[in-house]
Amino acid sequence: MKKKDYLLLFFLVLLMGAGIISYADSCSRKAAGRSLSLSDSRDEIDIPVLMYHSFCKDSSGENEYTISADRFEGDLKWLRDKGYTTIFPSQLISYVNEGAMLPSKPVILTFDDGFANNMLYAFPLLQKYNMKAVIALIGSESDKSSSDIYRNREHGNLNWGEVAILSQSGLIEFASHTYDLHSISQERKGADRKSGESSDQYRNILTEDLLKNQDLIEKATGSFPTAFAWPYGSYPADRIADPILRDLGFLVTFTSYQHTSGITRGEPDSLFGLGRYLRTPSFDIEKII
């Protein structure tokens, strides 16, 4: 052992003696990996969820559902400066079911529909600020994009290869936004129940569609999606779909009702029907949160 190694050992023994670090502590931290052994002492938290859809290069392309890259960067800076930390839905689930730790001011960023412009404009900014988001994917649209060599990345949807790349970044989690129920007809709005449809018929239609989307997302990302975003925020008022979604393995669902939701530890039901704020060019983030 060299002289400097003896000195290092001496300081370590000194620190352990003073109780500043302990062997047991360092072991439990190693075992915990992501500090999962630590539990959150809060029984309830409020979680603001922001809802985005499309992103564009500059303000000339903005509309109610499209935000420029600059405006999105402004949101990320504002959240950072105000001490917010972006989290994944899976972290909310761990908080409720396992008491896992959450940051003091958590926020969730959701991108609906799975547009390729999410990767083009928003993802580089998430990387720049090391922030997380969840993309709610319409599987049938990603299927079409995957076989469309002329797809426009400004307006088309993510293909499955891009979904895999984003998932591997560690900054994006994928949720389901239905495989092919993202449309409005006279009879049905999104994944809502059709009038006159029996509960068995509705269960079968929802199950077939959502299972297909979960399978495709799992194949692309390696993770089974447990979060669901209701298309158009429209879901059965009697919440008949909640048990169907639970049976499919969904643990958190998002609506489009604009409010902050309270999440209660030990109450998995509190993760169903979370409100979200639609970020439009005219809706200031400071007023939302």
Residues that bind Zn ion (CB under 5 A): 112-113, 231
DSSP 8-state secondary structure symbol assigned to residue 22: -
Q: How far apart are alpha carbons 12 and 7 in whole angstroms? A: 9
Task: Return the number of the residue (62 or 113) whose C-beta is nearest Zn ion.
Answer: 113
Q: Write down the residue that tokens 């560690």 correspond to.
A: 170
> Which of 188, 60, 51 shows the shortest CA–CA distance to 110?
51
Query: Angle of helix 160-168 relative to helix 139-146, nearest 10 degrees?
Result: 110
CB of residue 235 to Zn ion, shortest distance in Å: 13
Q: Closest CB to Zn ion among 52 and 123?
A: 52
User: Which residue number, 177 or 265, has a Cβ lying nearer to Zn ion?
Assistant: 177
Which of 51/102 has CB closer to Zn ion?
51
106 or 231: CB nearest Zn ion: 231
Rounded to whole angstroms, the Cα distance separating 185 from 232 reads: 13
* Minimum distance, C-beta of residue 167 to Zn ion, in the bound complex (Å): 20
CB 273 within 8 A of CB 229: no
Q: What is the token pair recorded at 141?
A: 């649209």
State the Cα–Cα distance between residues 276 and 289, nearest whole angstrom.
11
Task: In angstroms, give the least distance from the CB of 181 to Zn ion.
Answer: 10
User: In angstroms, what is the minimal distance from the CB of 112 to Zn ion?
Assistant: 4
The residue (of 95 and 254) whose beta carbon lies closer to Zn ion is: 254
Name the minimum Å distance from CB 231 to Zn ion: 5
State in angstroms the smallest separation of the CB of 191 from Zn ion. Answer: 10
Task: Quote the Cα angle for 246-137-57, to 5°.
Answer: 145
In angstroms, the Cα distances linking 32 to 22, 26, 27, 36, 99 are 15, 10, 8, 5, 14
**Angular region, 62: left φ>0, alpha ψ -120 to 50, beta rest:** beta
